[in-house]
Structure 1
Amino acid sequence: MIGAARILNGVFRAMGQPGVIGEIVAGLMLGPSLFGHFFPGISLSIFGAKASPPITMLSQIGLILLMFQIGADFEFGHLRSAKMKRATLLIAIGSIVVPFGLGLWLGFASQPSIAPSIDPLTYALFCGVALAITAVPILGRILREFELTRTPIGVVAISAAAINDVVGWVMLACISAYATTMFSTTFLLWRLLAIGALLLVLRFPLSPLADWLVRRYPVVDGRLPANLMAAVLCLTFALGIATYQIGIFAIFGGFACGLLFHRHTEFVAAWHRQAGHFTLVFFLPVFFTFTGLRTNLLGLAPSDLGWLALVLAAAIGGKLVPVFLAARTAGFDTNESSILASLMNTRALMELIVLNIGFDLGFLPQTMFTMLVVMAVATTLMTGPLLKLLLPRVGHVVLRAAEA
């Protein structure tokens, strides 16, 4: 897993793509889409019939730690202006409402031919969430590789994507509950109250606690004290458990914990040196392979290509157009708005998580599951070339990304 991810990371970087895209492709290639198809016996002996519990757990740990790093890199300064706040809100709304509506339409239109045995509303709702989601972890990696994490465009993009994903996961929890006859007004109210309570806990007891920990165990010679690292890990995973119980996925606990430490720049730099590279090199390939083992891209028949084209058009147009218009409305120029639209079109493996949930619950058939996987990979592959084309137009020099 680690070797395949490193090799494809280098290959894709040589082609001008972010290395993380190569790691995603490596994970898919190790599954039934390639390795498992041509060497089923070897694949079965290495990975088993399905992803084993250790692979599942390691993949979740990797995502949580990655989201901690993304949160720690977060720059709130740009959001102090009214323009940035307005832009974030408008882009978040546009990136959710329009693609969700298109996904609903696509679901109802395709249900008779693709999912005749599945409840039309449940199927359409899952299609809506699948088109609405934006991949915060991969977007964060792309922002880092293009050195956009502390720019106004990068901060607005990751902020809007975070709102997008929180809303998306709440919607997914409600849809799953509806589909399994557990949904109620009380269920939705509890989710919203729990999120509000978590925000209060982050702001009051935990934010001062993070400041105290950094003062109590200061960074010495660019290295983190063991006690500080242990305390941060405990807090990160505790918040991961909390957000998982709320129903918005454990990775947001890691992101929230990173936000608590983002203003301590010396700590953030030391964390990247001591823990960051290990997270990227070891944990993330496990997550990519975990998803790849459950994805079979060869399951798409030629007769499905028309629906696939429609899925791609709805997914790409449903993100690019409303985000571009929202950014223009918020005061960004044409090039900046195009960059934001390209960033918000990134779906990657957050999309695959949603698809796997729908597939496991029996509300997405194999054909639509495969189409949406193709869409997730295609929309993510678009991001790198578009950024290389658009960033020089706003004066941002695109250097060959550092090894990551």
Structure 2
Amino acid sequence: MSTIETFLLAMLLILSVPYLIWRLGNTDYYAPLVVVQILTGIVLGPGLLGAAFPEYYQLVFNTEVTNILSGIGSWAVMVFVWLAGLELDLQEAWQHRRESSITAGLAFSVPLLAGCIAAALMLWHSNEWMGSAAQDWQFIVGIGMACSVTALPILVLLMEKLSILRTPLGQRVLRYASLDDLVVWGVLAMILMDWHRLGRQATFIVVFIAATIIARRAFPRMPERDRWYAGLIWLSACGLFADWAGLHYMVGAFLSGAVLDHRWFKQESMDQLRHFLLLVLMPVFFLNTGLRTHWNMDGATVLVAAALLLAACVGGKLWGVQLAGKILRWPAQDARIIGWLLQTKALIMIIFANILLDRDIISHSSFTALLLMAIASTMLTIPMVAPRLIEHRQYS
């Protein structure tokens, strides 16, 4: 088969298999399509079906095809992360700064601490969990950060399904998740600091600040159609420059959106672009992520590590939000609903895990454990929130 034929065969699998499982299995309540796409990638990957049928794996997912898929997936997720940064509403968070800072701070710091403890236990068990380029603190904080993440874009999709996105409760959750996202990307940038490239990184900060001032003056003067095109140019430049500086191009992608004002772009257009990406391009990233899983360590050990990380992220997030609720005197039901909504991890945490793997801070075994944890925590969201929302509406 030619390369293009093999690529189209891979695309046929990427688009059809997860969709058929999701639609025919009616899995949406427990497993949204994005989760099914990731799970399909794990099954089709080298650790499972690839190990059972190596000839199939080498035929369909050869080096040329996986390089093409990786390029498509990288660009898709860069645009998606840019949108996530663009949708941050820091002005709204500032207007409710006491409530937002207390809730977001505890919702971030408690699972971070729990995740760091879990990472230390993994490291105590074996150094094979850590990547060869990492220091102990980078691995521990990186895993802890992964336990703190809330996937803002997926959270938006789930709240749309629950019909609470535009309600006061939904807007509160978006504020908390936005602040958490901002802090998490800052922690990630700290983890990725390369002291051998400190000069480049200082240059990046200075030039980025100057370029941001120019961009913020130029964008409001453009027609909206031109803003979208200029935004993609700005995204590409920031991603390239951040990667050159020793940070990851995804850090540049997020920053490029975060410094722009979402009010310069129509909300309807942002929603359409997000849904377009999820339909056309993101399936490639999700399945390609699953293809990166390996079971180099004993499979049972990886599952135990995933369970440990799940307990840390779920318990830490719920405990942190419950503590915030007591300080702010919320109804107990509010804290439980918000805690489970902020638990949504798929996509952004998976992006972080890919970054940590690319920078050799975590091993493939840790990556697999984190991926399983992200899938499980996201699958828990709707089943745990939906019945509580019914009770919440009854008492409101």
- Relative to the length of structure 1, the TM-score reads 0.76
1:133 is aligned to 2:149: yes
Match of 1:38 in 2: 52
* Structure 2 unmatched runs, 5+: 1-13
Displacement of 1:96 in angstroms is 2.4
- Whether 1:10 aligns to 2:23 is yes
Query: Which residue matches 1:26?
Result: 40
Q: Secondary structure at the match of 2:76?
A: helix
Q: Which residue of 2 aligns with 1:315?
A: 313
Residue 109, structure 1, aligned to residue 121, structure 2: yes
Contact 1:236 1:253 in 2 (8 A): no
Deviation at 1:385, TM superposition (A): 0.9
Whole-Å Cα distance in 1 between the matches of residues 108 and 377 of structure 2? 16
Deviations 1:158-203 (A, max 9, x none): 333333233223322322335xx4386x888777767766765565
1:99 and 2:115 aligned: no
Q: Rate the CA distance shift 1:343–1:11 in 2: closer, same or farther, 3 A.
A: farther
**How much has 1:340 moved relative to structure 2?**
1.6
Give the corresponding residue for 1:213. 223
Q: C-alpha separation between the residues in 2 aligned to 1:80 and 1:166?
A: 13
Going from structure 1 to structure 2, the CA distance change for 1:191 and 1:148 (only over 3 Å counts) comes to farther
Instruction: Measure, in 2, the Cα distance between the counterparts of 1:5 and 1:192.
Output: 41
Shift of 1:109: 3.0
Indicate yes or no: 2:249 matched with 1:250: no
How far off is 1:70 after superposition?
5.8
Letter in 1 for 2:253: A
Q: How do residues 2-401 of structure 1 correspond to structure 2 at under 5 angstroms? A: 2-11=15-24, 13-14=26-27, 16-17=29-30, 18-49=32-63, 52-67=66-81, 79=93, 81-82=95-96, 85-115=97-127, 119-177=135-193, 181-182=195-196, 200=213, 203-206=216-219, 208-209=220-221, 212-214=222-224, 228=225, 231-239=227-235, 241-242=237-238, 245-246=241-242, 247=247, 248-251=251-254, 253-254=256-257, 259-262=262-265, 264=266, 268-269=267-268, 275=273, 277-296=275-294, 300-303=298-301, 306-395=304-393
In 1, are the aligned partners of 2:85 and 2:255 still within 8 Å (CA)?
no
- Asked if the contact 2:321/2:335 (under 8 Å) is kept, the reply is yes
**Measured at CA, do residues 349 and 73 of structure 1 come closer, stay the same or move farther in structure 2, by a change above 3 Å?**
closer
Alignment partner, residue 220 of structure 1 = none
Q: CA RMSD in A?
A: 3.6
8 A Cα contact 1:106 1:311, kept in partner: yes
In 1, Cα distance between the equivalents of 2:384 and 2:210? 39
Letter in 1 for 2:256: G
User: C-alpha distance in 2, partners of 1:161/1:379?
Assistant: 16
Count residues with an aligned counterpart.
369
CA distance in 2, matches of 1:59, 1:50: 14
- Structure 1 SS opposite 2:165: coil
CA–CA distance in 1 between the matches of 2:191 and 2:71?
A: 25
1:288 deviation in Å?
A: 0.3
Letter in 2 for 1:241: A
Q: Deviations over 1:105-150 (max 9, x none)?
A: 2333332322178643333232222222222332233233333332
Q: 1:148 is paired with a residue of what secondary structure?
A: coil
Maintained 8 Å contact 1:50/1:293: no
Q: 1:121 to 1:159 in 2, by over 3 A?
A: same
Q: 1:12 to 1:153 in 2, by over 3 A?
A: farther
TM-score by length of structure 2 reads 0.77
1:163 to 1:54, Cα distance in 2 relative to 1, 3 A:
farther
Letter in 1 for 2:168: P
